Amino acid sequence: MAIVDVLKFNSDASIFAWKYPNTELSTWTQLIVNESQEAVLVKNGQITDVFGPGHYKLTTDNIPILQKLINIPFGGKSPFSAEVWFINKAFALDIKWGTTTPIQVQDPKYGVFVPLRAFGQFGLQIEDSRRFLIKLVGTMPFFNTKTLTEYFKGLYITRVKDRLSSCLVSSKISILEINSHLDEISSALSEQLQQEFAEFGIKVHSFYINDINVPENDPAVKRLKAALAKRAEMDILGYNYQQERTFDTLNTAAGNQGTAGGVMGAGMGVGLGFGIGGTVGNAIGSMDAVMTTKEAMKECPSCHSKIGESLKFCPHCGANTHEEKNELKCSDCGTIIAPGTKFCPGCGKPLLKKCNNCGTELNGDTKFCSNCGTKVE
């Protein structure tokens, strides 16, 4: 293999470390290091020197340790075998990261387990070329952003999960509200990861969580969002869950008005049987008031409460409201007759008679005059 005359690397921004493919050098080889780069010379597995930006000739003047590793005649051009690594020290601020699978986290506000996905980006810089090359790169031909994210995925995903859980527990917020705390979580993660990346010669300048979301098709997420939407609707309309369940019951009962009286009567019976008639009666009365707001009202002949026209039994006192208490019946045949009728339409019995004292017309069964109190014969 021919001896290399010039060593240089026009770095790709995504590459952090790149090894020059030819290892045959000489003490006359030219080394060119661009701005934001460092070149590391490795001989027999040992780093002999690190070169910053500039133009160099590989001589014993600028790499004195090389004299101990190879036999270089004075003033001669001596070939030797060595590796040259170029380290990119420019800031990389757009390294993307994300959770490949959802993180299962318990919502501290509602108690359900919800899967989370987190996405973002972070920025870093190679701060210590020696440490980075020794501890992380090893013998690979190059080291880029993809390699770095794969190496550290387990680390930052674990830290993200721990930080999210800590934030949820300490702040007592719902998972669906956590996006309002992204700056706080990102700052804490950046400080924590900086300490761990520094061991590998890397400086973390920023670590951002751009978005935290939940899978829309997850059953737990669907139930949680539906419940929150329902609660928001209740807050707007001004009622709670217990009232909502009552409304559902009333709607069902209103659809079958023929059995409404029976349901009310049964409710009263059970309530009285257990000694809670007053409580149940009040509750049922309130339900009746809601059910009958759109139908005609009538008065209970027993307790005189206003109740629905269709109810057969009073929900307040249990009285039978179906029979008219003011109906007139013939004492002989039992035929119902209208007020003011003089003769029974069933048997022809006279229904009206006059008081012998004041002449007031009275029903046929009346024994005392309602006007003067005289006994009627």
Q: How far is CA 135 from the centre of its chain?
A: 42
pLDDT at residue 138 in the model: 78
- 122 and 201 share one domain: yes
Q: State the Cα–Cα distance between residues 360 and 14, nearest whole angstrom.
A: 116
Judgement on whether residues 187 and 212 belong to the same structural domain of the protein? yes
95 phi, psi to nearest 5 deg: -80, 120
**What's the chain's length in residues?**
377
Residues 6+ away with beta carbon under 8 Å from 104 = 113, 114, 115, 116
- Give the tens place of pLDDT for each residue, 194-208: 989 999 999 999 999
pLDDT value of position 239: 59
Residue 228 domain flag? no
User: Do both 335 and 367 map to the same domain?
Assistant: yes
Q: How far apart are CA 233 and CA 57, in angstroms?
A: 77
> What are the tens digits of pLDDT across the range 120-158?
999 999 999 999 998 888 778 888 988 888 888 888 888
Classify strands 336-337 and 92-98 as parallel, antiparallel or unpaired: unpaired
Phi, psi at residue 105, to the nearest 5°? Answer: -130, 140
Whether residue 10 is contained in a domain is answered as: yes
- Asked whether residue 342 is domain-assigned, the answer is yes
204 and 129 fall within a common domain: yes
- Domain identity same for 212 and 154: yes
Query: What residue numbers bound the domain in which 148 lies?
Result: 92-220
CB of 326 within 8 A of CB of 333? Answer: no
> Position of tokens 């951002």?
208
Helix or strand run (H / E) with residue 25:
strand 24-26
φ/ψ (deg, to 5) at 348 = 85, 10
Contact in structure between 105 and 26 (CB atoms under 8 Å) = no
Residue 308 forms beta bridges with which residues? 297
CA 271 to chain centre: 41
Rounded Cα gap, residues 115 and 111, in angstroms: 13
Boundary-marking domain end, from 88, 104, 133: 88
- Whether residues 244 and 309 share a domain: the answer is yes
Which residues in the chain show pLDDT less than 70?
1-4, 60-78, 234, 237-295, 322-329, 338-340, 363-365, 370, 377
C-alpha–C-alpha distance, residues 54 and 244, integer Å = 77
Record the pTM.
0.55
Of the three residues 88, 108, 135, the one that is the final residue of a domain is 88
**Would residue 202 count as lying in a domain?**
yes
Q: How many domains does the chain have?
A: 4
Question: Which amino acid, residue 124?
Answer: L
Indicate if 162 and 263 belong to the same structural domain.
no
Is 81 inside any structural domain? yes
Q: Please provide residue 122's backbone torsions phi and psi, each rounded to the nearest 5 degrees.
A: -140, 160
> Last residue of some domain: 42, 70, 88?
88
Residue 298 in domain? yes
Q: Would you say residue 20 lies in a domain?
A: yes
For 214-266, list the strands marked E by DSSP: none
- pLDDT of 166: 81
Q: Using an 8 Å Cβ cutoff, are 122 and 206 in contact?
A: yes
Residue 1 within any structural domain of the chain: no
